[in-house]
Amino acid sequence: MASTHPTPISFLRKARLIYLAVLRPADFAEEEKADSELQNKQESGTPTDPPISQIRRALAESLAWCIGAVFIGFIAGEICVILLGPRTGLSAAFIIVGTTILLWATLAIRGWSIQSFGGITLSERLNQWIFRTLYAVGTIAVVFGTTWSVLTT
């Protein structure tokens, strides 16, 4: 039986896989095929964390993503207030762009149509990485624009 544990992937490899998926889908398909073959060779006998541990880990990870995005957006907004002063039109543009990115991420996420039994295929994980990245970028832009506009009025 195939493993239900995803192969570990570094941040740089995640970035490369996103690049391949967006700009070179045939190359991504090859990567996914190789990963699937590796998954099929692994044994599934390794114990998994209890579901509550997985939920708690997911909550902690998502909180870290949120706090990081808000922190980056706030600091960038403060820097722009200091260096550039009030620019309400430009700060409003960042809020609009950030909101658009958040909506885009929400509407672009794929669910049941790509779901596998274990949820560990590269396509499924790529879907999550893209979603989280877009959400972080959108949140940074909204917080940045809001901080810039609020601190200058």
pLDDT in tens, 105-118: 888 777 666 666 66
Q: What is the helix (H) or strand (E) element at residue 119, kind and residue range?
A: none
pLDDT value of residue 114: 67
Q: Which pair of tokens denotes residue 36?
A: 């699937």
Does the pTM surpass 0.85? The reply is no
Tell me the domain boundaries of the chain.
48-150
